[in-house]
Structure 1
Amino acid sequence: MLQIARSLATAFQQAEQTVTQPKVMSKKFTVYQGEHAVGDFDDLKEAILHAKQASHTMSIRLTKEDRTLWSNEDQKKEARKLTIVDAPYYSQLPELPRGCEVTTLAMLLGVNGFSVDKMVLAREIVRDPTPLSYDSEQNMRWGNPYKGFVGDMYDAKKPGFGVFHKPIEELARKYAGQQVMNLTDLDFSDITSIVGQGIPVWVIVTSTFAQDNSRSVKWLTADGPIQTTRNEHSVLLTGFDGTYVYFHDPLRQAGKGSRRAVSTFEQGWNQMGKQAITIILQNEKIVDN
């Protein structure tokens, strides 16, 4: 009887472990060489960097939908069919003269089904409260836009600059979670490939949408120097046809559906540190372990 009892107890424990065993989420993105899957990734940027190591025709698809998000074949085409993403348009003015980054984020969230007012995002964005000052040698000292918004967002008469990709990513994740993808440091051809698939992308660019050294500025932060231009801006990329990139510009009255030549826009984007964020909607597929 004792042996039977022990056997029953062991069987019960095994059954309990089987029932409580956690489910495993499938990877979000699958890299293909032609039509053959060669790798799975949770992060779109990592998937792109992996695919770019190959000299073959490569593509990246949403694992659960088999929908293409990026392809190196796209980058070889000089002209392509234009698809403009029907994203909501919001102006940063008059409330946020320096609020282009959060206003553009509101557009990115909105097109993906997360309705958040720009003023809410303006209150929620992390700030670096370091005041503008000058040391005895007249070196400018200020906050770090990689850590939080620098300066005043609401009053253009007060010192202010803006915020870079990391705090924006963190704020976006509050609403869209792990569906937020930071694409910073990729090539612009990678960004336009994604936009060409109908996926809008938040970017930082110069306000002239070209290389711009007219208002160069350098200051010291607690983490090191920042060297950039005061003509910093953020827009939402909504389309690409091989010659022009199309975008929503929150600063201009006719900002919806603006366009600029890719060659010059890319220069301004590179100058601002190749910053880009998007949201890839997906329903996680759960598979038994």
Structure 2
Amino acid sequence: MKKNRRNQRGRILQVIIALLLIVLAGIIVIRLMDTEEQETFLSETHTSGTNGIAANQSPAPTPTPKPKQGTVIVSVMEEATGLPVVGAEVSLTSLGAVEAQEKIVTGADGTAKSGLLNYGDSYVISLTGAASAYSLDGNEIPVTIEAPTQKAEMSLSLKEHVKEISRAEDGTVTISKVYMDIPVIMQKPELPNGCEITSLTAVLNYYGYTADKLDMADNYLPKEGWTRKDGKLYGANPDKAYAGDPRLQPGGFFSFAPPIIAAAESYIADNGGSHTATDMTGSTREEIVEKLMQGIPVVAWTTLDLSAPKIGYSWRFHDTGELFNAPINLHVVVLNGYDADSGTLHVMNPLVGQVTYSADAFFKSYELMGSHALIVEP
């Protein structure tokens, strides 16, 4: 009986030992498998070069911090009145750049707001556009973005020749009165028939030259004298030269625009100027008024008293023999201002000085005389 019990305990012990061996073997196998997986993982990681991320995976993106940004609100006011300027173009140009990065336009309250700009960036704010009544000279402000909203104030003044403007309900402006301070130069007594060259001299001096009417008449004005052949009088084609001599009475008649333009061009070239003379013959009333609105005086052909031309003399051209019937009441003046409300022109008349004429009466005479005109402009 005792022997059987010992045998039974022995078998139980063997079973326990066997079970322990099986468990131990399983543990060893599991650990070996874990070691192989780790080695494989480390090998793949080393091969992929992605710092611990498998080769077939992309690294998670690093979020980029959003830069701080702000805006600029620009106010543009009229210097004399403090009223808002509507429709002014404001340019923002990066410091050192040539082209504007952004252009904004003022609204009814005279303000314009930029887009978002990065903190620390520097710009030059400049006025690059406005109604034609305003001068844009010298309007620049430097600014560096350093707040969510920054304000800049700018002002515009009227151009020197603009004397009055009218303002519509929406704030837009139009020029209603202009005046250019043309020096008054009288043609007499030295140039009894020199209204054309005297008018040109006044315009040149308005632009800063120091022209002298006698120097202009003697040395710059193309002239042709008179001759008689077979009882016929021959003289200049007034589109090519002055007929006679403006110093003489009688003996001087007139020229149209081209000889006066030639005199202007020669004088400007001799004095190192950059202005240009342009023939405006054939221009309409509206075109001439537009030049005045731009601050450009106009030399225009009319008659002594704004009446109709009176034909009372004639001669044949030297070069072609063509018969030319000449008006005896032709006169040349400088238009140097216009008032739209009263319908009047300001005129420097080299026979009487500074005067005003009805625009209707003047342009009627101008058209009857053939619409001859010229300008000198920068």
- What TM-score, normalized to structure 1? 0.63
Equivalent in the alignment of 2:333: 235
Q: 1:159 to 1:241 in 2, by over 3 A?
A: same
Query: Is the 2:194–2:246 Cα contact (8 Å) retained in structure 1?
Result: yes
CA distance in structure 1 between the partners assigned to 2:363 and 2:227 by the alignment = 30
Query: Is the 2:197–2:221 Cα contact (8 Å) retained in structure 1?
Result: no
Query: Is the 1:196–1:241 Cα contact (8 Å) retained in structure 2?
Result: no
1:147 maps onto 2:247 in alignment: no
Residue 244 of structure 1 aligns to which amino acid in structure 2?
Answer: T
CA distance in structure 2 between the partners assigned to 1:225 and 1:205 by the alignment = 22
Equivalent in the alignment of 2:204: 109
1:277 maps onto 2:377 in alignment: no
Greater C-alpha radius of gyration:
2
More displaced, 201-210 or 110-119? 201-210
Residue 371 of structure 2 aligns to which amino acid in structure 1?
Answer: K
Query: How many residues end up aligned between the 2 structures?
Result: 207
CA distance in structure 1 between the partners assigned to 2:230 and 2:359 by the alignment = 41
1:246 maps onto 2:246 in alignment: no
Equivalent in the alignment of 1:98: 193
Equivalent in the alignment of 2:178: 83
Residue 147 of structure 1 aligns to which amino acid in structure 2?
Answer: K
Q: How does 1:1-289 map to 2 (within 5 A)?
A: 81-131=176-226, 133=228, 135-136=230-231, 140-156=233-249, 158-174=250-266, 175=268, 176-177=273-274, 179-213=276-310, 215-221=311-317, 222-223=319-320, 224-242=322-340, 243-252=343-352, 255-256=353-354, 258-281=355-378
Residue 274 of structure 1 aligns to which amino acid in structure 2?
Answer: S
Of Structure 1 and Structure 2, the greater strand share is in 2
Identity of aligned residues (%): 25
Q: Structure 1, residues 209-246: CA drift from partner, whole Å, max 9, x if none?
A: 23233x44333213333233111111110011231111
Residue 195 of structure 2 aligns to which amino acid in structure 1?
Answer: C
Q: 1:130 to 1:151 in 2, by over 3 A?
A: closer
CA distance in structure 2 between the partners assigned to 1:108 and 1:87 by the alignment = 7
Residue 132 of structure 1: how far off its partner (Å)? 5.0
More displaced, 115-124 or 145-154? 145-154
Q: Structure 1, residues 241-268: CA drift from partner, whole Å, max 9, x if none?
A: 231111100112xx11x11111221122
SS of structure 2 residue aligned to 1:82: strand
Residue 277 of structure 1: how far off its partner (Å)? 1.4
Query: Is the 2:280–2:374 Cα contact (8 Å) retained in structure 1?
Result: yes
Equivalent in the alignment of 1:16: none
CA distance in structure 2 between the partners assigned to 1:246 and 1:210 by the alignment = 18
CA distance in structure 2 between the partners assigned to 1:278 and 1:115 by the alignment = 18
Q: 1:125 to 1:267 in 2, by over 3 A?
A: farther
CA distance in structure 1 between the partners assigned to 2:275 and 2:337 by the alignment = 24
CA distance in structure 2 between the partners assigned to 1:98 and 1:259 by the alignment = 22
CA distance in structure 2 between the partners assigned to 1:241 and 1:134 by the alignment = 51
Residue 134 of structure 1: how far off its partner (Å)? 6.9
Q: Structure 1, residues 133-171: CA drift from partner, whole Å, max 9, x if none?
A: 4745x6x43221111111231131x32201211011111
Residue 111 of structure 1 aligns to which amino acid in structure 2?
Answer: Y
SS of structure 1 residue aligned to 2:333: strand
Q: Structure 1, residues 23-56: CA drift from partner, whole Å, max 9, x if none?
A: xxxxxxxxxxxx9xxxxxxxxxxxxxxxxxxxxx
Query: Is the 1:125–1:148 Cα contact (8 Å) retained in structure 2?
Result: no
Q: 1:167 to 1:231 in 2, by over 3 A?
A: same
CA distance in structure 1 between the partners assigned to 2:192 and 2:377 by the alignment = 29
More displaced, 271-280 or 121-130? 121-130
Q: Structure 1, residues 60-104: CA drift from partner, whole Å, max 9, x if none?
A: 9xxx98x99xxxxxxxxxx96222111111111111111111110
Alignment RMSD: 3.2
Residue 198 of structure 1 aligns to which amino acid in structure 2?
Answer: G
SS of structure 2 residue aligned to 1:170: helix
Higher RCO (CA-CA < 8 Å; seq separation 6+): 1
SS of structure 1 residue aligned to 2:177: coil
Q: Structure 1, residues 170-216: CA drift from partner, whole Å, max 9, x if none?
A: 11112155522221111122001211332211111111223233x44
Query: Is the 1:127–1:148 Cα contact (8 Å) retained in structure 2?
Result: yes
CA distance in structure 2 between the partners assigned to 1:89 and 1:146 by the alignment = 26
Query: Is the 2:308–2:369 Cα contact (8 Å) retained in structure 1?
Result: no
- What TM-score, normalized to structure 2? 0.49
